Structure 1
Amino acid sequence: MSPTSTLEDPRVASALDRMFRCAEQDDATSSRIRAARPEGAEPLGPQEQADAKAEVYMPISAQGGRLLYNLIRAARPATVVEFGTSFGISTLHLAAAVRDNGTGEVISTEMSAAKAAAARRTFAETGLDDLITVLEGDARETLATVSGAAGFVLLDGWKDLCLPVLRLLEPRLAPGTLVVADDVDLPDLAPYLDYVRDPRNGYQSVTFPVEDGMEISCRL
C-alpha cells in the first residue's frame, strides 16, 4: 500500500472540508460586521479587529495549505511559528506536515479568544493537538516569550503587523529559514513586501502565484 499524508486522515480531511465550507460565508459575514459599525467610527486596533471579526475565517486557500505542507516536509523544521491561527485551517496543514516528518512542533498565535478556543477543539478532534501550542494574545508580546530558533515561519495575521512580527523573530532565524506571508495583493502587506524584497535586509524572496499570492522568503 502506498503511504498517505496526514492530510488524508478522515478526521483532518473532514475538519478542513467543514472549515473551508464555513469560510465561503466570509464575505457575507464581513459585510454584516461592517454594516453594524457606526459611520465615521474610529479605526479599530488589532485586538478590537480580532474581537469584531471573531466569526470570520480568513483562511489560506486549499492549494496554499498544500504548498505549506510540502515546504515543511522538505525543510523538516524543528519549530514552526505561525502568526494568525484564526480557526486553524493553516495550522492543520502545518501540523500534518510535522506529524508526517516524525519530528517538530507548531507554535501558533491568535488574538481572538473565541477563535483560539474553537481552534483548540478542532486540533483535539483531529488528533494533532499534541503538536500544536496556541499562544493567545498579541503575537508581538507572546512570541517574545518563546525561546529557541524558528525553523519555519508563516505570517498570516493582520497584514500591518507582519513586518513587526518578522523583525521580532529575526534574531531566531538561521540562514536558510523559510518565511512565508499570505495575501500579497493586500495593500497593508506592502511595507512587509518592500522589506523582504530588498536584498539589503537579508532575504531572497519570490512570489508564488497561488490564490492571492504567497511571498516565500529565504533568510540569507
Structure 2
Amino acid sequence: MTITLHETRVRSVLDRLFGAAGADDGFDVPWDVVRTGSAQERADALAGVYMPISARGGDLLYGLVRSGRPETVVEFGTSFGISTLYLAAAVADNGRGHVYGTEMSAVKVAAARKNLDEAGLGGVVTILPGDARRTLADLAGPIGLVLLDGWKELCLPVLRDLEPRLAPGALVVADDIDQDSMAGYLEYVRDPANGYVSVAFPVEDGMEISCRA
C-alpha cells in the first residue's frame, strides 16, 4: 500500500516547514494591524508567520481523507501549505479527488504552491488566492471534507456558505478550537438542530470534527 505521506520528498518538505514554523517566535508581529485591521490587512501583515496545524493534527487529516475518500476537499486558510500537504498526500494515495485551498496572502500562495510542487503533490491541489467567501462561491459540490483553519471569526460564515454543497456525511474539521473567537462556531456545530454530530479531538490547540448528518 502506498503511503505518500512517508515518502522522503514529502517528509523533507514537512520537516523544513515545521522547522521554520518553530522559529515564528522571532517574528515581529504588528499587533495594531492584527487587532484592528481587515482580514486582508492581517493576512498581508502576517505573511511571514506560519501558524500551522500540529503534526498529529496533520496525521488525523490524512487518516480522515484516506478513510472517507472524498472527491472534493476544501481548505480555508492554506498559509504555507503544511496542512495542504497532508490533505494532498491522502488524495494522491486514494487515487481520486482534488484539494482546493484558499489563502489571502499572495506571498503565502506562491510559497504554498512551490512547497506542494517540491513534494510532488501540486497536481492534486488548486490554491485559490483571495477571500474564501468569494473564491469558493462557484466551487461545485458535493464537498466531502472541509478544513477550517483561516481567520477564526470567518470559520462559521465560510461553513454556512459551503453547507448547501456538503455531501451527506461530509466531515468538517476546525482547528484551534481553544481560541475564544471559536465559541460561536462551536455553539453552532454542537447544536443538533443545525444538522451536525460534533466532537472535540485532543490534538494541539484542539480540533473539532463535525459530521454533516
Query: What are the superposed Cα offsets for residues 74-100 of structure 1, whole Å, 9 maximum, x if unpaired?
Result: 000001000000000000000000011
d(CA) in 2 for partners of 1:77, 1:146: 15
d(CA) in 2 for partners of 1:215, 1:68: 12
Answering whether residue 27 of structure 2 is matched by residue 53 of structure 1, we say: no
Contact 2:177–2:208 under 8 Å retained in 1: yes
Which residue is equivalent to 1:6?
A: 4
Among 109, 116, 136, which residue is 2:109 paired with?
116
Identity percentage of aligned residues: 64
What letter corresponds to residue 33 of structure 1 in structure 2? V
Q: Which structure: larger Rg?
A: 1
d(CA) in 2 for partners of 1:174, 1:133: 20
Q: Which runs of 5+ in 2 are unaligned?
A: none
SS of match in other structure, 1:77:
coil
Which residue is equivalent to 2:13?
A: 15
d(CA) in 1 for partners of 2:57, 2:185: 19
Q: Which runs of 5+ in 1 are unaligned?
A: none
SS of match in other structure, 2:36:
coil
Query: What are the superposed Cα offsets for residues 136-158 of structure 1, whole Å, 9 maximum, x if unpaired?
Result: 00000000021221111000011
SS of match in other structure, 1:119:
helix
SS of match in other structure, 1:33:
coil
The offset of 1:25, in angstroms, is: 1.6
* Aligned 1:8-157 pairs, distance under 5 A: 8-29=6-27, 32-34=28-30, 37=32, 43-157=36-150
Query: What are the superposed Cα offsets for residues 59-78 of structure 1, whole Å, 9 maximum, x if unpaired?
Result: 00000000000011000000
d(CA) in 2 for partners of 1:180, 1:126: 24
| Shift in alpha-carbon separation, 1:56–1:102, aligned structure 2, 3 A | same
What letter corresponds to residue 21 of structure 2 in structure 1? A
d(CA) in 2 for partners of 1:16, 1:188: 28
Query: What are the superposed Cα offsets for residues 88-127 of structure 1, whole Å, 9 maximum, x if unpaired?
Result: 0000000000011111100000000000000001111111
d(CA) in 2 for partners of 1:179, 1:78: 14
Which residue is equivalent to 2:159?
A: 166
Runs of 4+ with >6 A deviation: none
d(CA) in 1 for partners of 2:3, 2:24: 28
The offset of 1:42, in angstroms, is: 7.1
Contact 2:141–2:167 under 8 Å retained in 1: no
